[in-house]
Amino acid sequence: MSESTLQSKFSSRKGYFSAVVLSGLLVGSIPLEAFAFGFDDVARRAEELAQQGYRAPETSLPDQLRELSYSEYSQIQFKRDRDVWSGKGAPFTLSFIPEGMHYDSAIQLNSIDQEGEVHGFAYNPDDFTYGDLDISDDVKQSDGVGIAGVRINHSPNGVDSNEVMVFLGASYFRAVGSGQVYGLSGRGLAVDTGLSSGEEFPRFSEIWIVEPSPESQYLTIFALLDSPSVTGAYRFVLRPGEDTIVDVQSRLYLRRAVEKLGIAPLTSMYLYGPEQPSSTQHYIPAMHDSNGLLISDAQNGWLWRPLANPARLMMNRHATPQLRGYGLMQRGHHFSDYQDIDARYDLRPSAWIEPRNAWGAGSVELIQIPTDNETNDNIVSMWLADETHEPGTPLEFDYRITFTASESRHLDPELAWVAETRRSRGEVIRDDLVREPDGTLAFVLDFVGPSLEGIGNGANLSVEASVGDNGELANSRVVQNPATNGWRVFVNVKRSNGSQPLDIRAKLMLDGKPLSETWYYRLPANG
């Protein structure tokens, strides 16, 4: 399921104030409260909205804009000299994204000034350039066109300005750290994802952004979420840096019981890689925004699950009685891992999520969807509570998302981790040194980390490996890898029924105690 497919299934209600002032965008000041506008005000709106019946948003985007291709839509760009707060010395500015393509609905976008008053923004076609597109003035100025999203730019030194976060489509958002490029996406909420009844796509119908001072180290964003089943209030605190951190506060109000309420969902793409080599010859050895799901649970420890591009839908859950964190990770940031000078998969970040309040017992679900090209976001992960939630009681889930290319910072230094997973035919080396297939499927795992320092060949190091019911473990072994200052594990398996998946697990043990995270791979059916 592509991100564009996901985002094309929602729309949002237009809402504008009147009279344009700032760069054709900022309109009349409308104080909503006698005191500074904040999270509680958004929560109050969400609670009131939940008591009302859901009203589907109106859409009236002209066909000329709706039918744009991706490359055509990308030509419509906000004029950077009209960035909101530009020229005020603030380290953050805003650029707007117009409706077009499958982004066929508008959000109501506001700023909150230093006195706490709310100012609304309105769409102005003169604030955009249109490249080579031949779009008539009547279409540009149509009442059916509005603001679809917002880009947040950061200029820490007052000179260089780089985009660090974007909100566009449903409740989707992306962020990057220094030197990174956009990859996976976060979402405010996922509802009934993967169910045969169909997924619901909550949307941010209104966003408020607090105007920063010249000394601001962070930016605060509030958002109102709405859908047929749930409303919600969100507060995002953005802290750009080498690792960009987004602290999220959320309060949800159910209109009706939800079968699957996905908290802190992430969406990514995995096409192929060393774990699952491409079926066709290609000079690019890997194409993915993420290559694994990492879970840390206080009771179950650390689990690393390499991703797959299955022949048919795969969904499963990992119980997390006491979740410490989880994320979709991009392990591998060397250009040689990808060789793609256009997509630069080596610069795409991981996203690590840590709860900041009590979530209780639950599970992390991984959904892997078949795809035949890299334009489809086919990976979804989210946290699901064991407890059944009913309307009437607000739900609060607070968490931190770290967008990073330095994943080892967030790992347990006392445990080794898998730097690379490779799939291969199993083989033996004959007496004449010729390699010969042995009829097995081999997985080659390179474990690295400070916990492996000083461990020599004489150590009581072993592999604890197992497979599910649909196969057998042929053999496993571990050898030192001097090239990585780590250890290489070989796990050879035989699958009984190729039309069914096979679960495989392995971890390093030292003197009978775990020395590494648990590697868990679900070999896809027919894969």
Q: Specify the pLDDT at position 1.
A: 43
Please check the confidence at residue 170 and state whether its pLDDT lies above 90.
yes
- pLDDT band (50, 70, 90) for residue 9: very low
Please check the confidence at residue 51 and state whether its pLDDT lies above 90.
yes
Give how far Cα 515 sits from Cα of 67, 409, 448, Å.
Answer: 55, 18, 11
Question: What stretch of H or E contains 505?
Answer: strand 502-510
Give Cβ neighbours of residue 172 (< 8 Å, ≥ 6 apart): 3, 6, 7, 185, 186, 187, 267
Rounded to an integer, what distance in angstroms lies between the CA atom of residue 354 and that of residue 359?
11
Strands 502-510 and 513-514: antiparallel
Q: Specify the pLDDT at position 414.
A: 95
What is the rounded average pLDDT of the residues 421-427? 95
Average pLDDT score over the chain: 91
Q: Specify the pLDDT at position 277.
A: 95
Give the CATH superfamily of 417-523: Immunoglobulins (2.60.40.10)
What is the rounded average pLDDT of the residues 150-169? 91
Q: Specify the pLDDT at position 114.
A: 85
Please check the confidence at residue 494 and state whether its pLDDT lies above 80.
yes
Give Cβ neighbours of residue 18 (< 8 Å, ≥ 6 apart): 27, 28, 122
> φ and ψ at 501, to 5 degrees?
-70, 165
| Rg, C-alpha atoms of the chain | 25
Please check the confidence at residue 317 and state whether its pLDDT lies above 70.
yes
Q: Specify the pLDDT at position 431.
A: 87
Tokens matching residue 323: 């979740």
Each residue's pLDDT tens digit, 335-386: 999 999 999 999 999 999 999 999 999 999 999 999 999 999 999 999 999 9
Please check the confidence at residue 133 and state whether its pLDDT lies above 60.
yes
Each residue's pLDDT tens digit, 397-414: 999 999 999 999 989 999
- pLDDT band (50, 70, 90) for residue 115: confident
Please check the confidence at residue 202 and state whether its pLDDT lies above 60.
yes
Give how far Cα 140 sits from Cα of 131, 133, 365, Å.
Answer: 14, 11, 43
Q: Specify the pLDDT at position 74.
A: 96
Tokens matching residue 355: 């709860």
Q: Specify the pLDDT at position 443.
A: 98
The region of weakest confidence among 7-16, 140-149, 421-430 is 7-16
What is the rounded average pLDDT of the residues 212-236? 97
Q: What percent of the chain has pLDDT over 70?
A: 93
CATH no. for 3-410: 2.70.98.10
- pLDDT band (50, 70, 90) for residue 486: very high
Please count the CA atoms within 13 angstroms of the CA of 502 that sit on its side-chain side.
20
Q: Specify the pLDDT at position 260.
A: 97
Is the separation of the CB atoms in 202 and 224 below 8 Å? no
Please check the confidence at residue 58 and state whether its pLDDT lies above 90.
no
Q: Specify the pLDDT at position 527.
A: 86
What is the rounded average pLDDT of the residues 258-263? 97
Position with higher pLDDT, 6 vs 13: 6
What is the rounded average pLDDT of the residues 310-330? 97
Closest CA to 346 of 181, 165, 186, 166: 181
Q: Specify the pLDDT at position 80.
A: 93
What is the rounded average pLDDT of the residues 278-282? 93
Please check the confidence at residue 14 and state whether its pLDDT lies above 90.
no
Tokens matching residue 473: 């473990």
Give Cβ neighbours of residue 29 (< 8 Å, ≥ 6 apart): 113, 117, 118, 119
- pLDDT band (50, 70, 90) for residue 160: confident
Q: Specify the pLDDT at position 45.
A: 97
Please check the confidence at residue 21 and state whether its pLDDT lies above 70.
no
* Three-state secondary structure call for residue 449: coil
The region of weakest confidence among 11-25, 148-162, 365-379 is 11-25
- Per-domain residue ranges of the chain: 3-410, 417-523
What is the rounded average pLDDT of the residues 84-89? 92
The residue with tokens 């409260």 is 33
What is the rounded average pLDDT of the residues 101-122? 93
- pLDDT band (50, 70, 90) for residue 509: very high
Do 3-410 and 417-523 have matching folds?
Answer: no
What pTM was estimated for this model as a whole? 0.91
The residue with tokens 């066709």 is 280
Q: Specify the pLDDT at position 451.
A: 94
Rounded to an integer, what distance in angstroms lies between the CA atom of residue 20 and that of residue 363?
48
Please check the confidence at residue 35 and state whether its pLDDT lies above 80.
no
Q: Specify the pLDDT at position 386.
A: 97
Q: Specify the pLDDT at position 12.
A: 30
Rounded to an integer, what distance in angstroms lies between the CA atom of residue 359 and that of residue 259?
17
**SS3 track for 231-255:** EEEEEEEEECCCCEEEEEEEEEEEC
